[in-house]
Structure 1
Amino acid sequence: MDVVEVSQALEEMPGVQVAVAAGQVSVYVPAIEDAVHIDPAAVTGCRRIQAPNGDPAVQFVLNDAPLIIAPGDVVFEPVDTGAVLDSTMAYRITNAPELVAYTEMERDAETTARNCERPGPINVDSAAATLLAVRCCIVAAARVGLRPVRSVAWWQRGFTALGGELPLPPFRTDPVWDELTREASSR
């Protein structure tokens, strides 16, 4: 697809703001206070659909992965744990969703952080798995140009509440993650 086709697909989307710059389509979704950045060359498919609440939505296929934009949310596919963990051993999150909404990611990040900060005993293995799942969502969001700084801030709070160590292999070096954590800590 090209810039014009991607922009036209979003024309009837109420409330979103579409801008084109340097061959990219930026779609600001005020409800989440963030913007998706779409490279039209990566789009292999596009169709108008309805969100579960009845709102109009547009589903794009970017590099074989779905990206759904609605007036109140953005839905995307979380990355695999291998994209965030530096390990030769595969880790699988058995209850990970195939798709996640931005608002769901933020809610899960906040809930997890609050649970980790709660007084009393905590199941560290369960908290680590949830933090891993949230991180997979955050990394996926960043890959479509979103800047989920609030989710990163909540993730950091949960990680810090657990003493900065998880029963997981180390995380891969990720300059985008590092940038997001610096931005989150400066707020």
Structure 2
Amino acid sequence: MTRTTDTKLHSLFLDRWSPRAFDASDMPDEDLDTILDAARFAPSAMNHQPWRLLYAKRGDANWERFLSYLVPGNRAWAENASVLIYIASDKYMGERASGTHSFDAGAAWGLLALQATMLGYHSHGMAGVDYKAAAEGLGLPDTFKLEAAIALGRMGDPDSLSEALRAREVVSGRKARDEIAYPGNFRG
């Protein structure tokens, strides 16, 4: 399946998708730095930049520990990624609570995913995380919320996946624009 649209949307948005089959290759530091830099330039409320990206590269001293925070179903395929990232956000702007920290962290994740695509990599965000163990193991202060995990790497052979995951290894469609965006009040 390929994604299509009836607008002038740049092909980058159509090409970005979240595979589970990665090729277990190493990612050069220069590419990782560029991908992380894209997240750095995300917009945020009052330029607070509440996101933090904690990462491990395949084979480094943190790799197995970062994998251990994933639920078994995600670990089974994410272990072939090149990089694992945990994204957290600061729940406070100074002394007051932030109502946009998760929104802002999502913007950083979005730009990170697009930059990865531009460099020929793929990214896959994951909510299948042991949040308590990960927050403790990563040393997150109570003022931070662990948002998600992200696997980065080059696409691998879908045959490396279980039969159930192979069946899901396709570019996913999207809801129609009028299902997600409409003038006026909420329509459900």
Common topology (TM > 0.5): no
Higher-RCO chain (CA-CA 8 Å, sequence separation at least 6): 2
What is the TM-score of this pair, normalised by structure 2?
A: 0.26
Higher strand share: 1
